[in-house]
Chain A
Amino acid sequence: MYNTLSQPYSWRENSLEWPLTSETGPGLSGVIACETGISWIDVAKGELYYRGINIRDLAGHCSFEEIAFLLITGNKPAENRAEYKTFLEQVYGARILPEPVVEIVKGLPPDAHPTRLLRAGVSALGCYAMTPGEEYRDQHMWNDFAVIGQVAQLVTIIINLKRDAFTFDYGAEVSLSYNLLLNILWRTPDEDEVRLLNLGWMLYADHGLDAPTFTGMIVGSTLADPYYNIVAGLSALRGPKLGGTGEQVLKQLLAFRDENVACAWARGMLSMKWKIPGFGHRMYATEDPRVQILKRELRKYAASIGEEEVLDVAEAVEKVVSEQLAPKGIFVNINYYAAILFHLLGVEPELVPCMYAIGRMAGVIARLREYATHNRLFRPDEEYMGPLDLPYIPREE
């Protein structure tokens, strides 16, 4: 028996024998939902591996497209050049969206939350991309690579919709990060900016069966059309406890100009025992490896452009909070610093969850493909604790 409660992502040489036994707790903690070869979280040491490669070795050296290819196919782009080339063509080519979908998104109220706009856009795309009667099991009939490009393009459109600006597609040769940055910045992005955005997406690409991924998988297990999975995943992703955290963090931090004020606020929150957004992650017993990478890269970048103010405030707040909470095993989570990353690239707070979504598409698609190979409908039981066989007495009409 695995003690899965303390070790939710165990590592095994051989495949599992179902049914299996494990310790289970609330929120399905400790439950093993599936076998996977995509990512492994080393909870005790605080390491994260994509397809067996430590993310510390990938960070900063790879484009998001390469990470997506690695996660989805399990192959390294350098060793499969031809396959990788087709992958890129499909992702980039998908950025030309059907005209009616663009019209639908443009007709949505710009003051609605961007993830809602994105969800509506993806849903509309599904009406075009799928012809009736297709099944995920024959999934080569639909092009799941394309979804990455489509979502990235939709986010670009939404960013510009919010700003009342035009969206340009700079052609099929341009990478996802470059295209998005051109649309945000209205100038040629430099190498550091492209690198930073790729890093942000990469760190969000996959992280075990968290809510957006797991929702997508449940939906996928019914053999639903993949656009449903993405729509469902997006619904989970915008929750205030998840993708929404980054947004809250950023709004909070931007409100403080001064470290002392921010620290005083944090101490106040702590003394009232209120939750501070961006802290606490059920998974790691130690610091999140993604946070360590982010902190290092952000400091480097912020110093190079001379905009260290927000980062200083953020680190000061983290120090205050960690002093009190780290002994209890509560550490800062990735949303906290990723929000600052996207802020430095000129992304508004409320668009942070959309950035999360682009990155996460890689992981969701990888997991859908993987689970489809040995599909089984997710359907747990419940324990009923109410009365039975109550007499029904109709109301007097």
Chain B
Amino acid sequence: MIGEHFEVNSQSYGRGLEGLNAGKTSIGKIDGKTGRLWYRGYSIEDLAEKSNFEEVSYLILHGKLPTDRQCCTWEQELHGWRTPPREALSVLQWLPSDAHPLAKYRTMLSVAACHMPEGENTRVDAQWRRPSRVLSWSTALAAAAIRHMNGRPPLSPNHDLGFSDNFLYQALGRKPDKLESKAFETSLIVQAEHGLHAAALSALVVISTGADLGSAVLAGMGALSGKLHGGANQTAFEMFQSLTDADEAKEWTEQKLGEKYRFPGFGHRIYKTDDPRAKILEPYAEQLLKKSGKENLWAVYETVKHEVETRLGKRGIYANVDAVTGLIYHPLGLPTESFPIPFALAIQTGWMAHCLEYIPDGKMIEPGAVYIPKE
């Protein structure tokens, strides 16, 4: 968010700062009416089809697609930080294995933050050295948190694999096949940046106090864990999984529609039409589910989606990305509780880009409140 060109103006906005223009940005553009999303001017359809996560993260952070040489350096940088501090991994042995993987992941990240080289250096050049550390460390830590759920020890990184494949390898203990690899990487690419959502906003508030980028990412992680935010893909999947087949799904959805139920994974503050991210991911989810013999789950998704969208579509409620990602992560073998983690891994790129964009301006973010005495 670039605040320096921001003039004082009069604005109307709703609760939760809905509709408020918080500042200017050149990172991403969301068009909620036509259902489109661009990163730095490139449409996500193009990037999802042709690019990889390393390149997209470079694009989001630096504003330009990397040249061969830049891409090579960036990949090397990411590779170099694939081994997190041993102390951060060993924290796992003290944590209860039934705690939520995001909570374990957050704890490991906060411990890793104590071991971050030049942790207290908040000069701009030091901040720019952090994204690769944050991305690579968090991948390893997240994978370890997922493995800890089943009581398995962390795996070392596989340096033959790219960013996304390596995460799957470290989390699942096996190399993904071609379809799995493409599906997962696409899910990371389309979720890598999404404007000033709650998590990005909280990261921005933290960076505006002059803190380091790692602290900002930790704050974003917090917001992401919420049921209304990153946790939505877990709740949405649990909803689909609780329905056995299309008939039951139809009946249940109709009943819930009557009760004015809020379907997790449906409706979005900005998209009032099809979510482009969901549209890109749907074919992959379908293929993966059919390949692993879970056609029913796909049928359930399609039924619920159809029912909800025919009834509520005119009010702008459509399936969003959170409804679909679970249908990709489940056939890959990731545990349901861990679904918010890949989302966190991808979208922290966007938070860091927002933070780095904000640093030069750096005005402390501090809104006001209206005091109304208690009756």
Interface residues of A (CB under 8 A from B): 1-2, 4-5, 8-16, 18-37, 39-40, 51-52, 74, 100-101, 103-104, 107-109, 112-113, 116-117, 119-120, 123-124, 126-128, 130-132, 135, 208-211, 214-215, 218-219, 221-225, 227-229, 231-233, 235-242, 244, 282-283, 374, 376-392, 394-396
Contacts and interface: CB of A to CB of B under 8 A. Distances in A.
Contacts of B24: 382-385
| Secondary structure class of chain A's binding surface, majority of residues | loop
Contacts of B55: 395
B364 interface: yes
Interface string B178-221: 00000000000000000111110110011011110001101111
Given A127-B99, A130-B103, A224-B224, 9 more contacts: A15-B372, A20-B13, A24-B9, A107-B87, A215-B206, A219-B223, A223-B231, A231-B110, A382-B196
23 contacts: A8-B367, A9-B369, A31-B368, A37-B372, A40-B371, A51-B374, A108-B87, A109-B115, A123-B103, A211-B205, A222-B225, A222-B228, A224-B222, A235-B211, A242-B210, A244-B209, A376-B18, A377-B228, A379-B18, A385-B25, A392-B42, A394-B50, A395-B55
B100 interface: yes
B269 interface: yes
Given A104-B111, A130-B99, A18 B15 contact: yes
Chain B, interface size: which category?
Answer: 35 or more
Contacts of A40: 371
Contacts of B210: 239-242, 244
B12 to A, nearest CB: 5
A78 B211 CA distance: 40
Contacts of A132: 98-100, 337
Contacts of A235: 206, 211, 215-216, 218-219
A379 B204 CA distance: 12
Nearest to A243: B209
Nearest to B209: A239
Contacts of A1: 10
B366 A385 contact: no
Interface centre among A21, A132, A377 (most CB of B within 10 A): A377
Nearest to B207: A239
Nearest to B46: A392
B342 interface: no
Interface of B: 1-4, 6-29, 38, 40-43, 46-47, 50-51, 55, 65-68, 71, 87, 90-91, 94-96, 98-100, 103-104, 106-107, 109-111, 113-115, 119-120, 122, 195-199, 201-202, 205-206, 208-211, 215-216, 218-231, 269-270, 337, 361, 363-374
A116 B110 contact: yes
B43 A210 contact: no
Interface centre among A16, A240, A384 (most CB of B within 10 A): A384
A283 to B, nearest CB: 8
Contacts of A30: 8, 367-368
B11 A100 contact: no
A33 B10 contact: no
Contacts of B95: 100, 124, 127
A5 B366 CA distance: 11
A25 to B, nearest CB: 4
A383 B24 CA distance: 5
B114 A109 contact: yes
A91 B122 CA distance: 35
A21 B66 CA distance: 43
Nearest to A283: B366
A48 B372 CA distance: 14
- Which 10 pairs between the two chains have the least Cβ-Cβ distance? A222-B226, A239-B209, A8-B368, A228-B222, A376-B16, A224-B226, A27-B363, A232-B219, A386-B26, A384-B29
